[in-house]
Every structure is written in structure tokens, then in C-alpha cells.
Structure 1
Amino acid sequence: MSLPPVCGPEGPIRTTPAGPHDAAPATVRAVLFDFSGTLFQIETYAARIRSALGRPVDDATMDRILGGLEAGLSNPEVVRAQQARDVSSHAHRHAFTTWYASVPELAPCAGALYAQLQAPEQWVPYTDTATALARLAQAGLALGVVSDVGWDLRATFAHHGLDGYFSAWVHSYEHGTEKPDPVLFHHACRELGADPSETLMVGDHPAKDGGAVGAGLRAYVLPAGSAPGSLRGLDAVLRLAGLSQ
């Protein structure tokens, strides 16, 4: 889903029909991908909590813990910790461990839950991830990862045999900023040797990933996330890149 180029509070300021002399969009030569919720999804919270606690947890207790996590998102201390959480490894860890620890049962294992985030085996590629990446690479498109994250993602991609498709890795914590800062998108384009106008950003966050439009790229924002191991709808990316099904 592309964001409109120029909008006021009520929508597009002006819509002008394409004229005979308007230039056609540049061919897509590079595709940038977000990580979580786009190519991969982490194991369920319930499974991760049981593993971190190291003991059985009945359904009623799990529902209470999960409810506590949801309520924790409104906790003022947790809210403060989330601000600029992806600009450094320290900020990222602090944001997540503060959130986990807002639930009393999880406070003793907040560090273990955070370690799971960095564990490659905890992440599951969507069913269509490998196929989509292979098709794009075979067609000669350059691929990169641009992610708001607090650690290096290459080990996770390598664990699943998917790292070889990418020539650019842009992690927010290494640049001290977050999407949609054009710095991240432009750095990835330079790494791939692609002009922003020839580059498509794919993600699941309208403001962060869709914000690539402000940096001169095209953007496709996937619908709300799917369960781990399910189809993600990445066939749409192939069509946007000009590849037939």
C-alpha cells in the first residue's frame, strides 16, 4: 500500500490526471525489507513465557500474564522506555526488559525473555519468505534489510539459510536513528547501488516503513501480521517488482 504523495488533513490536496508527457515510474531494481512482521515472526508469547519460566503454566495463569503484558503497555514507566528504543542496543534492551518486568511473574526472567529476541531459533520465516526472496534474486534485483532493531540480524537469516540473498544490512541501532529517517533508507540504497526512485521498501508499519516515500522510495505496507509459519502475502511484492506469477 503506497502512501499518497501530498495530503492535507482531509486527504489529497490535488489530484492531476496523468498527461501524455508524464514520465513512467522507474523500473524497480532493488527491494528493501523490514524484518519482524514482514519476513519473520517470533514464536508466540505463550510459548516463550513457558520456556523462560522453565515450568508448566496453566491456561488461566497464562491468560493473566498475557493480560498483564497488554496492560503494561500503558504503564508510564514502560511508555517512557519505549521512546527511541531502537537507536541503541542499550535502549532496545531497556525498553523490552522494562516491559516484561512490569508483570510480576515475569520480572525474574525479563533478561531471559529478551535473550529469546536475539536467538535465531526463536524466529520463524513466513511460508512464502524463501520463495519470494529467491524469485527476486533470480530476476537480478538487489535486496537489503532495513530494520528498527537492537542487534545484528544476520545470524537469524543465516540460521534459516536466507542471508545469502541480501547485499545490504541496515540496523537502526548502528546508525543511532529509527525509521522513517531517510538516513537509513538512503544508506541501504547506496549499499545496493540503487537510486531511491528505483527502490521499493516493504514492511508492516504504515508510518515507519511507508515513510520511505518521504525519502524518495516506493513503499508497500503489508496488512496486519500473520501467525508464525503462515503465508504473508509476499506474492504482491513480486507483482510490484514487475515479476509475473
Structure 2
Amino acid sequence: MIHTLFETPSSYRPTEAETAAPVPRVEAVLFDFSNTVFRMIGLETWLHRVGAAAGRLGLLEKPGAVAVISGQLRDAFRLPSVVALQEGRDLSPERHRRAMHGWWERVDFLRGVQEAAYRELTRPDAWAPFPDTEPVLRALRDRGLRIGIVSDFAWDLRTHLAHHGLDALVDSCVISCEQGREKPDPELFLKACADLGAEPRATLMVGDNPVRDGGATACGLRTYILPAEDRTGERGLADVLRLVG
């Protein structure tokens, strides 16, 4: 069952003593993955990779080609049929692939080569950490905090962590496609806390979506929401270090 943000999950209810006592210090930090600690490579880079894999690089040499493709992607994503495909897409790899194929078939450059495009989307090096991701994760580990990831993602994001040598800095990953649930389902946050051996009230959730990531507050977690902007420089994760004290 998916609870609303206004319910306290039945699996976690603070006692009167807990609510009257001082707020516990943070012992664990959970991070969203996409657009919080990692970002996809830029659109132009991805398109060139797709073009190389599909034999369509010549199409990208035309003046303004990338801008045209970008516009078609935006327009196609607004179509009701495409919007419907995105619902629950991160619940399984199959649903996500179907959603992407249904979107990309509306784009001239990607039509007919959707599977090549999908391979380039999921390659280990197709996602990269923000410049401040590794320093902040290491600083948290140095302070003795446990670290987890809670993500709506359609494949095993651990491949991206490993590719960039960050897997040793993350203790646990709770991924929607492996759990059959998407945020803000409280069970995802509660599982992440349980995997880390951390009490929800002693855990901080960091993300960029106030509804999905902010849903952690219904489980007793503290939540820090980053601006939902397409950052290429530092993400602003150093603020997390100030929050944990």
C-alpha cells in the first residue's frame, strides 16, 4: 500500500517519549541518485554516442541538428500517450524500456534505433557523479555515518557507482525496480533505514523532489531538498555536512 504524505506509516510510529525527547543526532544519510549525487551525461554527448552506435553521426553534422532533436524530445514528452507510458516506468526494466521506446519513436533521429539509444543510456559511464559527490560521501564516512541510496531507477545503479569507484562509499542501495515500489512509498525509506541499522528519526534523506523524496518525512526522517535544476557544477552537497553537524 502507498501511503499519502499525511499519514504516519503503520510500520513506524514514534512513541510519546521519542517525540518529547531531544531530536537524535543524524547517524545515517540517504541520497536520491539521479540529479542528486549523479547526473546523466549531456544530451549532445549521448546523441553522438547513439549516432556512432547506429551509424547516424552524419545527421548530427547538420547545423542546429542537436537543437532540433532536443525540441522534438520536449514536444514528444508532452504527448498524452507518451505521458501515460511514463507512469510507473521505474518499477521494472521492462516498463522503463517500453516507456523510453514509446517516447523516442516520436523523434526523427531516434526512430528505429531505440534499442541502441537505450544501451547508451544505461552504459556504466553514461551517468557521472557531481564534482562534490565523492568529497561529501568521504566526509560523511570519515564522521562515522552510514550512507544509503534510495532511488526510483529502472536498472542496477550500482554499475555506475562501481564505474566511478564510489561503491565502497555506499553501504546500501534501495532501488524501485528491485522493490516493485516507487517513492514516496514509505516502505522504501524504511527498508533503507533497516538495511543500515539506523532509526528513521536518526536518518537524513537528501533529494531534489519535494513530493517523492520529501515523502521520507512521513517515516520520521529529516529531509533536505535540493533545487531541482540541471546542475553541471557542484550540486551543493556540502550543505549536508553542516546539517549532520
**TM bracket, shorter-chain basis:** 0.7 to 0.9
Please show how residues 1-245 of structure 1 align to structure 2 within 5 Å.
23-54=21-52, 55-56=57-58, 57=60, 58-228=62-232, 230-242=233-245
**Which amino acid in structure 2 is aligned with residue 219 of structure 1?**
T
1: CA distance, partners of 2:210 / 2:169 = 25
1: CA distance, partners of 2:237 / 2:141 = 14
1: CA distance, partners of 2:231 / 2:116 = 23
Mark the CA change 1:81 to 1:208 in structure 2 (over 3 Å): closer, same or farther.
same
**Secondary structure of 1:144's partner?**
strand
2:128/2:160 contact within 8 Å kept: no
**Secondary structure of 1:202's partner?**
strand
Unaligned runs of 5+ in 1: 7-20
The Cα offsets for residues 187-209 of structure 1, whole Å up to 9 and x where unpaired, read as 00000000110111111111111
**Secondary structure of 1:41's partner?**
strand
The Cα offsets for residues 88-115 of structure 1, whole Å up to 9 and x where unpaired, read as 1111111122112221221122212222
**Which amino acid in structure 1 is aligned with residue 214 of structure 2?**
G
User: How high is the TM-score relative to the length of structure 1?
Assistant: 0.86
**Which amino acid in structure 2 is aligned with residue 38 of structure 1?**
T
**Which amino acid in structure 2 is aligned with residue 234 of structure 1?**
L
2: CA distance, partners of 1:75 / 1:226 = 23
User: How high is the TM-score relative to the length of structure 2?
Assistant: 0.86
Task: For residue 23 of structure 1, report the CA deviation from its aligned partner.
Answer: 3.2
Query: Identity of paired residues, percent?
Result: 43
2: CA distance, partners of 1:74 / 1:195 = 41
2: CA distance, partners of 1:35 / 1:116 = 18
Provide the alpha-carbon RMSD of the alignment.
1.6
Count of equivalent residues: 223
**Which amino acid in structure 2 is aligned with residue 205 of structure 1?**
N
Unaligned runs of 5+ in 2: 7-18
**Which amino acid in structure 2 is aligned with residue 159 of structure 1?**
H
2: CA distance, partners of 1:156 / 1:202 = 19
**Secondary structure of 1:108's partner?**
coil
2:46/2:121 contact within 8 Å kept: no
The Cα offsets for residues 129-171 of structure 1, whole Å up to 9 and x where unpaired, read as 1100000001000100111011111111011010001111101
**Which amino acid in structure 2 is aligned with residue 47 of structure 1?**
T
1:226/1:232 contact within 8 Å kept: no
**Which amino acid in structure 1 is aligned with residue 51 of structure 2?**
L
**Secondary structure of 1:179's partner?**
coil
The Cα offsets for residues 168-222 of structure 1, whole Å up to 9 and x where unpaired, read as 1101011111000001000000000001101111111111111111122111111
2: CA distance, partners of 1:84 / 1:96 = 12
Mark the CA change 1:46 to 1:195 in structure 2 (over 3 Å): closer, same or farther.
same
1: CA distance, partners of 2:104 / 2:44 = 13
**Matching residue of 1:11:** none
2: CA distance, partners of 1:33 / 1:213 = 14
1: CA distance, partners of 2:63 / 2:244 = 44
